[in-house]
Amino acid sequence: MTSRTSTEELWERQKQTTVENHHCGEQRVVNMSAKFEVSERIKSLPPYLFAAVDSKKREAIGKGMDVIDLGVGDPVEPTPTHIIDQLCKSAYDRTNHRYPSYSGMMAFKEAVARWYRKRAGIDLDPKTQVITLIGAKEGIAHIPFALVNPGDKVLVPSPAYPVYRNSTILAGADPVIMPLLKDNGFLPDLGAIDSNTARKAKMMFLNYPNNPTGAVATLDFFHQVVEFARGYNIVVCHDAAYLELGLDGYCAPSFLEASGALEIAVEFYSLSKTYNMTGWRIGAAAGNADIIAALGAVKTNIDSGAFQAVQWAGVQALEGPQGCVEQQKRIYEQRRGLLLEALRSMGLQADPSQATCYLWCPVPHGFTSTQFAAELIERIGVVVTPGVGFGQYGEGFIRLSLTVETDRLKEAARRMKTIRF
């Protein structure tokens, strides 16, 4: 009898796939019990890894336990009022009710270009070097279709946002894992990438400030990446979703600030986490004009652009009052302190991240990340994300989100202090 892969067995047994919320790591099961055959590319996706945690969560809720979910990176604070007001105004403008431009409204792309000029000192042509996205995830998922062919190699970090690897697989390319290890500051070791592999690679995904680890990268490291990529003719795709969530005064560099980056790179920027706009689905890609054009060709054949009223709201977000961003960062700093104290009380040691809305914490000896996440649900009703869900090199860690109400996070911290490992 011919043996089946574990993924094929999973499809036969459960007929399910996963859907991931943008940058959250949250996944939910989708029923695929209909009597049809799914494509080989869907079968090749990694299996659902959070089933045990989801089962424990449902079991706890079924017992009447008050469950606090620190697993989802979705800001609970509302979108700032001045952005909502702009959306309402623009929604009543009938000129915004027709099909938008495939590549985005010029006013929004010009606002993105001005933002990059002010934020990073980078001059971009909004006509050729900026494209509007229906959320950064959309652009990240489509870029492999623009740049790689079946069988090509793509350098993908681990642990990482799952879409990098999954979009590579869906495009028919082969992901080559770059381990992000604590000893190297959760940066990929470029020197450890085999030259044979590097010559075959067409793309590299990067993400700093990093989800899930909270790690940051220096401009000097970005310079090294540019030199590496230029040497092997690799396109760098940098996910900058957390660029503005620097804590304690930290200001993260844009990858496009690195000398030569515009020759080989594109950066994905999202308004989701900066302005609490996760549900609005608005972002942009900026960088090399040829890469932007290739991404635009994919989008032209797949979607019809972002609703213009949302793009006008995006202009207001980028160019309106920025006090809301600073206020949100102060909230995350407070919540980070509460969780760090609780983790120390449990006997765990997490590094205080300089950016993002996450903490990345090693699990106690004797536990896998999934086992420990299940243990926390069962004992105290607190949900965290197992690190293995972000790739094989996430094993041994959990990710905790700072995006729940402060009072709920205080209660989670109180419960965490009642146990020790």
Residues 267 and 128 in one domain: yes
Say whether both 66 and 187 belong to one domain.
Answer: no
Does 119 lie in the same domain as 67? no
Total of domains in the chain:
2
Both 121 and 269 in one domain: the answer is yes
Same domain for 184 and 282, yes or no, is: yes
Domain presence at residue 353: yes
| 313 neighbors 386 (Cβ within 8 angstroms) | no
What are the backbone dihedrals phi and psi of residue 16, each rounded to the nearest 5 degrees, phi first? -140, 155
Last residue of a domain, one of 319, 345, 374: 319
256 and 280 housed in the same domain: yes
Same-domain status, 178 and 305: yes
Q: With respect to residue 89, please indicate whether it lies within any of the assigned structural domains.
A: no
- Total residue count of the chain as it appears in this document: 421
Give the CATH number, domain containing residue 31.
Answer: 3.90.1150.10
- Token pair 């945690």 is found at 53
Tens digits of residue pLDDT in 262-312: 999 999 999 999 999 999 999 999 999 999 999 999 999 999 999 999 999
Q: Enumerate residue ranges in the chain where pLDDT < 50.
A: 1-23
Report the pLDDT value the prediction gives residue 289, as an integer from 0 to 100: 98
Domain boundary among 290, 319, 348: 319
CATH number at residue 171: 3.40.640.10
Tell me what pLDDT residue 53 has.
80
- The reply to whether 122 and 181 lie within a common domain is yes
Do residue 231 and residue 344 come from a single domain?
Answer: no
Token code pair at residue 349: 């040691």
Residues 239 and 158 placed together within one structural domain of the fold? yes
Q: Assess contact for 179 and 169: CB atoms under 8 A.
A: no
pLDDT of residue 55: 85
pTM: 0.92
* Token digits of residue 390: 């972000």
Q: What is the largest CA-CA distance in the chain?
A: 66
List the domain range (segments joined by +) for residue 376: 6-77+324-416
Q: Are 112 and 129 in contact (CB under 8 A)?
A: no
| Structure-derived torsion over alpha carbons of residues 29, 33, 36, 37, reported in degrees to the nearest 10 | 50
Residue 70 CA to residue 68 CA, distance in Å, equals 6
Structure tokens belonging to residue 357: 């809305």
At which of 273, 294, 319 does a domain end? Answer: 319
Identify the DSSP state of 367.
-
Look at residue 421 and tell me if it is in a domain. no
Asked if residue 273 is part of any domain, the answer here is: yes
pLDDT value at residue 36: 82
Q: How far apart are CA 48 and CA 74, in angstroms?
A: 20
Q: Are residues 242 and 360 in the same domain?
A: no
Contacts of 155 (CB under 8 A, 6+ apart): 176, 178, 188, 193, 198, 201, 203, 204, 205, 234
Cα–Cα dist 271/276, whole Å: 7
Query: Are 99 and 46 contained in the same domain?
Result: no
Q: How does pLDDT run across 200-224, given as a tens digit for each residue? A: 999 999 999 999 999 999 999 999 9
